[in-house]
Structure 1
């Protein structure tokens, strides 16, 4: 091999080595960028977690939500409590059971006491207190000081009381409290929910009470407590008691109280006492005729309720007919949830209803038995929801409004047909 060939070979080898080095550097740079993108959020979260005490002390107006979870167990509790007592910006506290699980009772009360004194506190949110239950006396300690709170949420938790007669503190001074939301609330065996609901009822401006438990249970609330909810909560708009099984007499009495408060004559210039718009309850397996009769009487002249849900396994056929028939003249109810197996009588009653009712938008049924009937019902309910059926009654409606409706529903051929059929004068010169 001559010298020129050797030189060319060495140059080629050097060139290949240089290209490999460049490629290796590019790959390493790419790996660094990817790793930095992954680690950056983690570093930020780490800084945020370790700096929660400093953030509390800085009183930055943008720091309004305080989240305390299991990652904050490394914090010195005394320093955390001191920082909370210095803060004037936090409006919303979200507390995870993972933080409280490792705190002795004395330290828990120090924390509740400090959080309750936050001057701008509006929302309290507890979640995932399962393995370590949420103690009622701890909740009382916090609420007793947080007089300005607007919303209380307890999610996926066990609410535990040491004594059978323990109660939630009276909420008469909590004038800002409007929403109490318990979701997936576990009730320990041998405990009852009734005393807690009785305390919640005392909140003067309560507008939304939602209590959902994981499994159906009976005898958690009494008739008297249900009556207080309907009669004494003048500002209550949403009442949802999911899987808290009510006996027939409970449902009948509640329907009568709702009807009475709606129809009660008020002095001139005053609004009706009842403002309840949404009601959700659970019946015991079957919604029987006596209950249906009470609900039918309530809905016949209903002026406030827009949504009614009665959960159960089924509703008797004649009872369903009575409830549906009561809605022919109803101008308020938009959503009705009952159970399945409505039968031929139910189908016939439903057909008669939809000839006259232009307000109902949703009917929840598990089985109509007749797919054609179900499709027809869904179609007319959809027309109600879009306010198209009401146009059929007004053949002299303003032309511009009709054109606006036509443009809005130009992709729904059935809707266009309905509009045009109900308004033949739209083509008149």
Structure 2
């Protein structure tokens, strides 16, 4: 719309150029000169002056006409403006214009008519209906966030008891901040499976903060500890990125960590968001793995590519990629054969799957998610380190956090493996598989609302 409203600059230049060319042509043909001669008695000097005056008057008249036309166009088109942003955009175009002064009347027209139009829209019954719908959506989003946070807090109940409740007990038993207090906090963190290296890092940071802020009250240590935990868990790329189409998600991990269930929940989520999802049953070795994934596919109403039990996983992924291309799928989620991370031949087989994806699906955005069971503690860290050597892991899914009091494994995995935690499982339902948010996690862990 604004191209039409503000063609004045270009139009003025074009019209002026045409007038100048026309007058120049007329001068050459001595048509206008002859008229001037008759009026001023062939006075050459007056001829020159009057010719210039005629040229300027003609240009000014045309420019004035163009300006008036532009204002009229504004008055007509401004009726289509529906937001204050459009008015601001229009005024911005004028401010940057070479003919800012000439367009001042246009700007005034926009401000005057635009404000009346917006006022009219805001008082319109239809606008009130829209506002009501928007408010309902806002409230729905807020309620959803609250529900998710409540689920997170509930899911981390055991972890809170195993970490922050013990931290609170330690802090209450001291009247001053000293090395003994820090040693007791260190013990709590290590027993909560935070890991020795990560624990030492946390205590060192805490010691520096206590010294720099001159903290003497043990109660103040708690908030500083929470900030350190949040800082360690925060990552710029912690969000699972499936906006690009097509995207392929490869799920890796040992048997029993919850890969298939996680795939089912993700399929349900993205199908409900309107994406076209396809599943690949690449775990052909575990008994009933294909059937389990098929149940999730039916539940979420998405297609699945499968072979017989014991088939080559690479062949399944190959066929799934071909199907994804043919069906214009937005998201392909692949299960892979569960394997022991210390079995070299099985890990090499996983490498073959990645080669197939590299060769057959280079245009797809790739996410490689390592699924680990939080209840296994430091073994989860060991698994993550081993898988990272074989695969370019882009994120970690921590499942069964609701079943362990040693939730510190989240810190250990993020810190020692240096791969962002992207998803956490805090329950059995679909909603209990949540995007990882460092602040929400630390707030839930430390019992903040």
TM-score for both structures, normalised by structure 2: 0.20
Which protein is bigger by CA-based radius of gyration? 2
- Highest RCO, 1 vs 2 (Cα 8 Å, sep ≥ 6): 2
Q: Which has the higher strand share?
A: 1
TM-score for both structures, normalised by structure 1: 0.21
Q: Which has the higher helix share?
A: 2
